[in-house]
Amino acid sequence: MGGPRLYTIPAHRAFADALATGLIRRFGGDRMALARGIVLVPNNRGALAVNEAFVRASGGALLLPRIVAVGGEDLEAAVGAALDPADAVPPLPPAIDPLQRRMILARLVEEERAGAGRPVDAAEAVRLAGELARTMDQLIVEGIDPRRLAEIDPGEGLSAHWETALRLFRIVLDRWPAERAALGRIDAAERRVTLLERQAERWRQAPPAGFVCAAGVTDPAPAVARLLRTVADLPQGMVVFADLDLSLPEEEWEALGPHAPDPATGLRRRSIEVHPQFHLKLLLERMGVARGEVVRWTDASEHDATAARGRAIANALTPAAFTAKWTQLDAAGRRLTGVEAAELANPAEEAQAIALVLREALEEPGRTAALVTPDRARARRVAAHCRRWDITVDDSAGHPLAILPPGTLLTAIAEAAAQDFAPMALLTLLKHPLVRSGAERGAWLDAVRQLDRALRGPRPAPGLDGIDRHLRDAPERERAIRAAALPGWQAMRGLLEPIAAVFGDGAATLPRLVACLREAADRLAGEAAWSGPAGRAAADLLAALEEQAAHGPRRVTPAGFVPLLRLLMDEVAIRARPREGHPRIAIYGLIEARLQSADVMVLSGLNEGVWPGSPAPDPWLAPRIRAELGLPGLERGIGVAAHDFAQGLGAPRVVLTRSRRDARSPALASRFWLRLEAMAGDRFPRATALEGWTRALDRAGTPVPAARPAPLPPAALRPDVISVTEVDRLKADPFAFYARRILKLMPLDAVDADPSAAWRGTAVHAVLEAWARDDACDPDRLLPRAVALLDDPAAHPLLRALWQPRLIAAFEWIAGRTLEDRAAGREVLAVEGRGESVVAGIRLNGRFDRIDRMPDGGLGIVDYKTGKAPSVAAVRGGFNLQLGLLGAIAEAGGFDGVRGTATAFEYWSLAKKGDTFGAVSSPADPAGKGGRIVTDDFVRAARDSFAEAAARWLTGEEPFVAKLHPEFAPYAEYDQLMRRDEWYGRDR
């Protein structure tokens, strides 16, 4: 046959199997003829797929041809060694290390942006450098001379942003050749182009003895096109395309573009780059061949779908301007036999449905199944669901290093140091599963848990010293907890000090930060940090970064180092070893799925923004500039994704899945899904059974709401000691009291919590206590003491920033009020004391803020409130009687040094009232005015109210009913335990 030998395998056939069957038929008669052949494939994953297809087709022993990757269009797959001979003359310089190039470009970007008055941090410089490198590679791959940028006039249509980006792009491109020449290296893209050109020339001059078959290569780069044309013209050469549509009408084929300029206007019609055939048409044009010269590959395999499926796929993906023909299609042109579509509620339900499909496939011996999705999170979810059946499925696209244990360890170290060892970041690091993962792990975690308890509440002062002070200078009620954490903390501190020294140094360089990170991981985790594929990848990344960091950005802050590290680790994919997962189930990304086949193919994530993904903007070149240069449009990736979709639809059974919403909001169905739905009409096949199984799998039946809890513990378990502050909880919400005192379930503050009103009250009480104890309540000493508290570096920033004006005004009011009281003959008798007495057979204890000796000789019970005082209605209802109960303890002699009869009960509120801060109120009144309790009866009323409660729940047998008086039980610490939302309101 004369002319180039060009073939296509349609989408409804399993590409690799059909290719292997055909090559064996053509060359398998002579085993050595097959072994002398070369098969060019797009990437290493494609090479594996073709190799496995040969094994399946051979049925026994076979000498395979050499299978060589020509390198992916994204340059992730290197050119195979067969195309890069060691004895090439002249030898090509080695390619520059990718990380070294990125660091150099990041430094150039940093310098130029700083010179332009728009400085960037190191992480942003490295990100921009990555985008810059991709754009430079595209220029090289497309054969575009970068000097053409100087010929482009931005014109009026370009914004100032794009003009600045283009100017910086030109400057960096001008500086880059000198940097590269100094290293004696060339760009990897340039080297790949040269290798392909040289190989094409060698084969033109001396055709190989065996056959050469380029299979499934769809990259339309000029160098690839010239190599494929050379292969097609070889005596034993052939090019086999994947799903080049020979049935697409000529009018539609020509509409795809690229189009010649209009002779009159010079304008070009826009190419339809989003069509799955566009890049193949461009490849044919660059090869200099017509679609009519391509013939259909006649060999099939047992993994093929029907030809009718292929026609339906082509009809569904026709250019938008020609979709009107759908109304004229007959039933055969719409038929999607073997295809099902499942629409699920959310990503979790979708993952469950996919796992069911994969599990079902294993019921038939020898049957294979594969999931194809660009969404790696969905892939991980499916793999997790499969583990419920002890089925291990590996994602061939791999997992980013940043989410695997070695990567999260490195991030945790950098985060903790950058945040100056804030509690949340510190505990995240110390609890990491790789830290002290050996025999000492148990003891280590015990110490970390003690530190966790000690760090609950608002954040301490920054740094390791701040934690030291936090643990040493503890209030009385937390002293034991913090003291218990100190020994373990000292051991942890020793491991963290070298990190703090480096990250705390404002002059630390990137190499020093990387070295410190590596050493810290060694100290904290030892060999566990570098074990396994992920650990080795982390070690390699740090070694490379430490080696190349000197070429990188000059200004790197600890805070900027964290996103830089995470950015680089996100780009490192850790792939499982072959055959680690189940032999009949696979999970592929879109690139990995090319040339693959399975009996059951699940195409998942069919939502806009997922499949196809949203085109990533080029931060350097505006779309118009890219078009003028002849670079691919940003939308071309959508066309490639459409081609991947069409290829995936070629399996015998296909299940399409999407979720109606993503993790945050409702989701729009993919344009591919909508096209199939619109083309098929009422014949669009829905997997209703699968949708039903998915929902039924975890359905627990009709829920039975919980009854209102009312536990009835025996008398022996009921406490005989109670604090005056717990009495209201006992009466308003007995169940909460039961959970707290009998079950011993004490609520914990959050780590790094925002300062609450209770925390603010504790700080205020500490000032007032010290003022009374050390300054004898001298009014002139209160304000300086309060200012000292607020100016203390250990004070929470919120206390200083938001509460300082209010607290200063309130303390001024207290000082003034104290002066007035002294003038009236009132003196402070005691502050912040504790005591107890027996009331109604129960030991009642309490802590008072202040007790004064009144002018009449009686006792004045004072309670400081940073908020509002209790309402009269609450007191009349039998709640908020703490002042009366403290008076009862005082009258019984329960407080050391305090004797007398309680004759005054006051709340000193520091809240704003009108235009001032500070007010005195009392729940009692000598004459009972305003509904208050008569002062002389207040202690007795409080004692009687407590005696009634004690008789019911402490010495009696009353059940501890949940939310007995909800209007006086605003706290919610135990609402989940009592399952409040299941019963509240139903029994009222």
Q: Tell me the average pLDDT across 673-701.
A: 89
Question: Per-residue pLDDT tens for 429-458?
Answer: 999 999 999 889 999 999 999 999 999 988
pLDDT band at 75 (very low <50, low <70, confident <90, very high): very low
Predicted confidence band at 722 (pLDDT cuts at 50, 70, 90)? Answer: very high
Query: Over 50: is that where the pLDDT of 566 sits?
Result: yes
pLDDT in tens, 210-244: 999 999 999 999 999 999 999 999 999 999 999 99
pLDDT value at position 79?
55
Distance, in Å, from the CA atom of 815 to the CA atom of 813, rounded to the nearest integer, reads 5
**β-sheet with 237-242: strand ranges across:** 66-69, 38-41, 212-215, 237-242, 6-9, 294-296
pLDDT tier, 156 (very low <50, low <70, confident <90, very high otherwise)? low
Angle, CA of 795, 801 and 802, to the nearest 5°: 110
pLDDT tens-digit series, residues 486-534: 999 999 999 999 999 999 887 788 999 999 999 999 999 999 999 999 9
How far apart CA 238 and CA 295 sit, in angstroms, is 11
Length of the chain: 988
pLDDT at residue 403 in the model: 94
Query: Residue 791 — very low, low, confident or very high, per pLDDT cuts 50/70/90?
Result: low
d(CA 915, CA 893): 41
Angle between helical axes of 804-823 and 757-775 (0-180°, round to 10): 40
**What does the mean pLDDT of the chain come to?**
88
Mean pLDDT score, 583-607? 92
Is the pLDDT assigned to residue 74 strictly greater than 50? no
Rounded to whole angstroms, the Cα distance separating 368 from 430 reads 43
> pLDDT at position 763, please?
74
Residue 760 has pLDDT above 50, yes or no: yes
How many other C-beta atoms are found inside a 10 Å radius of the C-beta of residue 363? 7
- Residue 797, CB half-sphere, CA atoms under 13 Å: how many? 5
Cα dihedral 590, 595, 598, 602 in deg (nearest 10): 20
The per-residue pLDDT for 512 is 93
779 vs 671 pLDDT, higher one: 671
Backbone phi and psi for residue 172, each to the nearest 5 degrees, phi listed first = -65, -40
Query: CA distances (Å), 877 to each of 519, 783, 872, in order?
Result: 64, 38, 9
**Structure confidence at residue 87 as a pLDDT band (50, 70, 90):** low
Residue listed under structure tokens 């696979």: 586
CA dist., res. 785 & res. 775, Å (int):
10
Helix axis angle for 222-233 and 188-205, nearest 10°, is 20
Q: In which element (H, E) is residue 106 found? A: helix 98-115
Residue 607 has what DSSP assignment? B
The C-alpha atoms of residue 813 and residue 783 are separated, in whole angstroms, by 10
H/E run at residue 371: strand 369-372
The residue written with tokens 């053509």 in the block is 26
Q: Which of 498-512, 709-723, 781-795 shows the lowest per-residue confidence on average (mean pLDDT)?
A: 781-795
Question: Which of 106, 110, 98 is CA-nearest to residue 129?
Answer: 106
Give pLDDT tens digits for 832-856.
889 999 999 999 999 998 899 999 9
Q: What confidence tens digit (pLDDT) does each residue in 258-283 have?
A: 888 877 776 778 899 999 999 999 99
Residue 749 has pLDDT above 90, yes or no: no
Least trusted range by pLDDT, from 219-228, 393-402, 468-477, 547-556: 468-477
Q: What is the pLDDT of residues 952-976, one digit of tens each?
A: 999 999 999 999 999 998 888 999 9
Which residue would you say has higher pLDDT here, 913 or 106?
Answer: 106
Q: How would you classify the pairing of strands 369-372 and 585-588?
A: parallel
Q: Is the predicted pLDDT of residue 658 greater than 60, yes or no?
A: yes
Q: Where residue 168 falls among pLDDT bands split at 50, 70, 90?
A: confident
pLDDT band at 919 (very low <50, low <70, confident <90, very high): confident
